[in-house]
Amino acid sequence: MQLLVLGGSVFLSRAVVETALARGHDVVALTRGRSGSVPAGARHVVADRDDPLPADLVTGRFDAVVDVGRQPSHVRRAVRAWPDARWVLVSTISVYADDADPAGPGAGRLHEARHDDADLSADPAAYGPLKVACEEIVRAGAPDAVVVRPGLVVGPGDPSGRFTAWPARLRRLTGAPDDGDVLAPGSPDDLVQTIDVRDLATWIVDLAETSVAGTFDAVAPAVPIAAYLAAVARGCGVAPRWRWVDHDRLTALDVRPWSGPRSVPLWLPRPAYDGMPAHDAAPALAAGLTPRPLEDTARDVLAWLDADPDAPVTGLTDAEEAEVLHAVLG
C-alpha cells in the first residue's frame, strides 16, 4: 500500500508510520520538520500545511491517507488533493459537547463546527469545534472515510506527560510490600479511560488497509481509577499504600486536575467530567481495536523513562505531594 501520513514525527502519527513500515507499506510522511525526524524507511516530505501542498505530492497516488490535522483548511486542502484515497481522520472525543453525562458522550451531541482555522495555543477551547469541522470536511470529500475519535492516548513517547506521571511516581518506590504512601485522587470508583498509542496505531493501519467506514470512539473499556492505578503499579512492580484524597480536599489544597503544574494527572473534576472517561468502547473493539493490558503499557513507559531522562512528565512535584499528604494524614 502507498500510504500518506499527514504527520509522522510525533507520538501517534509516528507510531502509525512505524506500524505501516513494519508491515511493508510504502510510507510518505509530511511534516514541517519542527518536531523531529520521521521513522527511518519513510519518505519525509517537509512542508507547512498552512501553504499549498507540494505539487509533486499532489500528483502522487496514494491508496490511503492518515491525517492527524486540527486545522480545517489543512484537511480541506488534503481531501481535495486525494479524494479517491482511503481516508482515516484522527479526530478526538473532544468533539462531544457534553462531558458530564455519566452514560458517556451525552446524546452524542457535538460542538458546533468551527470552519475557520484558529490559534490553538491562544484558544485551546477551539480544539473540539475545529475537529468537528475537520470531520465534516472529510465525510463530505471522501464519503467512505473512517473517523476515529481517541480518548486519552498513552504510552511510550507521550509528549503530554499525563499517564507517564504515574510510572514516574511509582518508580521511586522500592518494590517492597507496602513500601510507600502515594496520593490517589478523588473516589476509587471514578472511571479512567485511555488507549495505548501502539494499539491505536495498529488499528489505524488496519483501518487504512480495509474498507470499514464510519465513526468510532477509539478507547479501551473504562476502568475505576482504583483498579486502573493498581494495574499500573503491578506493571511497575510495586505495591504502594494508596492514600485517597477526595475532590473537595484536593481542591482546597490547590491541587489541580488532569495536567500541568500542581496537578494530579488523569484526575478529572466530578461531576463535570463524569462522561469523558465513560465512552462505549464496544463499537471500536468490534471493529478490531485490541487494547493491551494496562500493566504492559505501564511497564513499557517505565522502560522508556529509564532510557530517556528527558521523557516529559507533568503533575505534582515530590515536595508538593508530600505537603498534600502531610496536610491530609498529619
- Min. distance of Cβ 10 from ligand NAP in angstroms? 4
For residues 240 and 173, the answer to whether their CB atoms sit within 8 Å is yes
Q: Does 152 bind ligand NAP (CB under 6 A)?
A: yes
Count Cα atoms within 13 angstroms, Cβ side, for 295: 8
Q: Does 49 bind ligand NAP (CB under 6 A)?
A: yes
Looking at 25-33, 170-178, 205-213, 263-271, which segment touches ligand NAP (CB under 6 A)?
A: 25-33
- Min. distance of Cβ 186 from ligand NAP in angstroms? 20
Q: Does 192 bind ligand NAP (CB under 6 A)?
A: no
Looking at 8-16, 78-86, 172-180, 225-233, which segment touches ligand NAP (CB under 6 A)?
A: 8-16
For residues 135 and 72, the answer to whether their CB atoms sit within 8 Å is no
Q: Which one among 3, 4, 11, 217 touches ligand NAP, defined by CB under 6 A? A: 11
Distance, CA of 297 to CA of 302 (rounded, Å) = 9
Distance, CA of 106 to CA of 110 (rounded, Å) = 9
For residues 38 and 17, the answer to whether their CB atoms sit within 8 Å is yes
- What string of DSSP letters covers 20-85? HHHTT-EEEEEE-SSS----TTSEEEE--TTSPPPHHHHTS--SEEEE----HHHHHHHHHH-TTS
Q: Which of residues 92-111 bind ligand NAP (CB under 6 A)?
A: 92
Nearer to ligand NAP among residue 48 and residue 144 (C-beta): 48
Distance, CA of 233 to CA of 186 (rounded, Å) = 18
Looking at 31-39, 254-262, 267-275, 293-301, which segment touches ligand NAP (CB under 6 A)?
A: 31-39
Nearer to ligand NAP among residue 30 and residue 184 (C-beta): 30
Q: Does 314 bind ligand NAP (CB under 6 A)?
A: no
Length of the chain: 330
Q: Which one among 12, 20, 284, 289 touches ligand NAP, defined by CB under 6 A? A: 12
Binding site for ligand NAP (CB under 6 A): 7-13, 30-35, 48-50, 68, 70, 90, 92, 150, 152-153, 160
